[in-house]
Chain A
């Protein structure tokens, strides 16, 4: 049953309708047919009973004298006259219930002297006795002459005719029911098609909309509820089409604006950097060559140069972030000797750490292969930013840089013993121009772009960055970068170079 109902649920709507409707029609017609068939039967039986009564009456009238006189010959003839296809048996009994004559004309019956039980019973019946037996209707009554009972008569009527009539009626009913069910199926199917066809077309149209074709409009004819559905579908697709067009326009405008901004930034940065480079260069030359300069003078040149360098770093950061965010920074992963890179980094950063009296501890996991496929610049920038930050925000203790290997990732972990970061700032510090608060900005300096750049670079490498920290308990930044198949990425980067 569950299997069937499951099957039914999976059928198409039109099939469900048709099956449902034809079942209903079939049940109704069957019920009506049964009822009318029964009525018909009653009717036929009643007719036959009437017929039997009439025949019985006329037979009794015709046989009263014969019975009074016990004229067996006459009665026998009479019985033969009456019997036929419809009247199977005619029997006469005398006033003691003995069988006197019947339609067989068999003289032997005349000599049966034993009273007949049926005959005796019938002598008392003034009203006709009717009894339905298999295939026949038995009818009998007494025969009166004057006021006296002179005998009885019994008839057996064939029900064959009746059965034939009932069978004919039943066959007609079955035929009609069959036709009605076929008609019902046809009508139900046509009707459900008229409902499901527009729904099916709507479904097709919807899937086109889902694929992004918003120009679809349903053009078939539909009325009623389906018509309403069609109307709202058309309104909806039109609305989506307009919205999408607006969005596309807005996106295009935004992209254009963003492109112009990037272009402006890149041109500006270049234009700003060129004179700064020259300034730094010339100031450096002055520092190296002007031996006769006073300490005060050298100090001022040093200040001028360090400010120029800060400005340059800021401009570089701004350029970096705009390139990363516009997606124009193309990372070029190549196999990099990661231990060499870390050693280089250690050389640069140890100086900064020493200046603040901190120790910088660097380690590389033995499990990490010699060559790691990564964009060298991006790696350097990430490590430099994180270690630089750690040194900047740590007053005493140590900064640790560890490169670790996990199953699918390699990990850059930078740990410090510095001021730490309150929990609510753990996300915000990766946004642009953000530091823990304005006062730290004044105290520690920096553009507030370093972590944003770092996070963007890591995102571009499909990696993640996390921080665990609490105020005054130091901070640990953990960068996870998926390990790239070296051979494959080498092939790719070579291809890229050739294309370029």
Chain B
């Protein structure tokens, strides 16, 4: 798969990116938008909750450690609400936090992606782990 093949693969899908580092957030958002996604960004868990409730995205990509509200807390809140319970959240874990990944899966994150994001492989890696979400599976097929 090359970048060209993927250019429309996320066409029309709403995806929320939650990250307190704006540049990192923008890189992810840009890469997703390059594939046609409709990306909504949030700077911490609190903002994330608001936009997720409002836009009901196909899935969420969220950093774990953030001020105000962490990714963990945000996920916890989402899982308590019936309207957001089924929205998959992909954790974005830093290289430094090696134990975080197993813990993220245990906590109920859909899967995880490792920082730093590789611009070339990000979309492919992401697709690999969200393929089991029915909407995405239908799109790729």
- Chain A residues at the B interface, C-beta cutoff of 8 Å: 266, 269-270, 273-278, 280-285, 287-289, 312, 316, 319, 323, 329-330, 332, 334, 375, 377, 493, 497, 500
Bound together, the chains give a CA A270 to CA B115 distance in angstroms of 11
- B77 interface residue, CB < 8 Å from A? no
Most buried by B among A274, A283, A312: A274
| A281-B23 in contact (CB<8A) | yes
* Chain B interface main SS type: loop
Which A-chain residue is minimally distant from B23 (CB atoms)?
A278
The 8 A CB mask of B19-41 against A (1 = contact, 0 = none) is 00101101110110010000000
A245 smallest CB distance to B (angstroms) = 37
20 A–B contact pairs at CB < 8 A? A266-B96, A269-B96, A270-B96, A274-B21, A274-B23, A277-B21, A277-B116, A277-B117, A278-B27, A280-B116, A281-B31, A281-B119, A282-B27, A283-B119, A288-B34, A319-B96, A329-B98, A330-B99, A375-B98, A377-B98
> A383 to chain B: closest CB distance in Å?
16
**Which residue on B lies nearest to A375, using beta carbons?**
B98
Q: Which of A269, A281, A289, A332 contacts B98 (CB 8 A)?
A: A332
Whether, in the assembled complex, B82 has its beta carbon less than 8 Å from a beta carbon of chain A, the answer is no
Q: Are B102 and A334 in contact (CB under 8 A)?
A: yes
- Looking across the interface, which residue of chain B has its beta carbon closest to that of A309? B116
In the assembled complex, which residues on chain B have CB atoms less than 8 Å from the CB atom of A500?
99, 103
Residue on B nearest A279 in the bound complex, by CB: B23
With both beta carbons as reference points, the residue of chain A lying nearest to B31 in the complex is identified as: A285
Which residue of the partner chain B has the closest CB to A312?
B116
Q: Are A289 and B34 in contact (CB under 8 A)?
A: yes
**In whole angstroms, how far apart are the Cα atoms of A316 and B106 in the complex?**
26
Known: A266-B96, A285-B30. A274 touches B24 (CB 8 A): yes
B96 touches A332 (CB 8 A): no
Determine the distance from Cα of A457 to Cα of B129 in the docked complex, in whole angstroms. 29
Residues from chain A with a CB closer than 8 A to the CB of B115 are 277
Contacts of B106 in A (CB 8 A): 497
> How does the 8 Å CB contact mask read for B21-63 relative to A, with 1 for contact and 0 for none?
1011011101100100000000000000000000000000000
Chain B residues within 8 Å of A493, by CB: 102
C-alpha spacing A278/B27, complex, angstroms:
7
B95 to nearest A CB, angstroms?
Answer: 6
Q: Nearest A residue to B25 by beta-carbon distance?
A: A278
CA A409 – CA B103 in complex, angstroms? 29
- Report the Cα distance A497→B95, complex, angstroms: 18
* B119–A285 CB distance below 8 A: yes
Q: How far is the CA of A183 from the CA of B3 in the complex (A)?
A: 108
CA–CA, A29 to B95, complex, Å? 91
6 extra A-B contacts, CB within 8 A, seeds A274-B21, A285-B27, A377-B98: A274-B24, A275-B23, A278-B21, A334-B102, A375-B98, A493-B102
CB distance from A82 to the nearest CB of B (A): 124
Which residue, of B30, B99, B115, has the highest number of chain A Cβ atoms within 10 A? B99
Q: Which residue of B lies closest to A500 (CB)?
A: B103
- The yes or no answer to B81 lying at the interface (CB within 8 A) is no
Most A CB contacts (10 A, CB to CB) among B26, B94, B102, B116 go to B116
Q: Which of B24, B30, B102 contacts A497 (CB 8 A)?
A: B102
Residues of A within 8 Å of B5, CB to CB, are none
A312 contacts which chain B residues (CB < 8 A)? 116
Distance in Å from the Cβ of A218 to the closest Cβ of chain B? 51
Q: Give min CB distance, B12 to chain A, whole Å.
A: 21
CB proximity of A350 to chain B, nearest CB, Å = 16
Do B24 and A278 touch (CB < 8 A)?
A: yes
**Residues in chain B near residue A334, CB distance under 8 A:** 102
B108 to chain A, nearest CB (A): 13
Closest Cβ–Cβ distance, residue A243 to chain B (whole Å): 39
Q: How far is the CA of A287 from the CA of B30 in the complex (A)?
A: 13
- Which A residues touch B103, using CB under 8 A? 497, 500
- A323–B95 Cα distance when bound, in Å, is 12
Tell me the minimal C-beta distance from A389 to chain B in angstroms: 21
Q: Which of B96-133 contact A (CB under 8 A)?
A: 96, 98-99, 102-103, 106, 115-120
Q: How far is the CA of A13 from the CA of B27 in the complex (A)?
A: 84
Inter-subunit contact B27/A316 (CB<8 Å): no
Q: B residues within 8 A CB of A329?
A: 98
In the bound complex, CA of A282 to CA of B25 (Å): 11
**Distance between B1 CB and nearest chain A CB, rounded to angstroms:** 13
**B94 neighbours in A (Cβ, 8 Å):** 270
Cβ contacts under 8 Å, A323 to chain B: 96
Note all chain B residues with C-beta closer than 8 A to A319: 96
Docked pose: A277 CA to B93 CA in angstroms: 13
Contact at B102–A316, with CB atoms within 8 Å?
Answer: no
Contact of B116 among A281, A330, A332 (CB under 8 A): A281
B51 to chain A, nearest CB (A): 22
Nearest B residue to A378 via CB reads B98
Beta-carbon contact of A281 and B34 below 8 Å = no
Per the bound structure, the CA–CA distance linking A493 and B98 in Å amounts to 13
Q: Which residues of B contact A280 (CB under 8 A)?
A: 116, 119
A278 to B98, CA, bound (A): 21
- In the assembled complex, the Cα of A449 lies from the Cα of B95 at a distance in Å of 17
- Chain A: CB-nearest residue to B118: A284
* A277, A280, A285, A330: most-surrounded residue (chain B CB, <10 A): A277
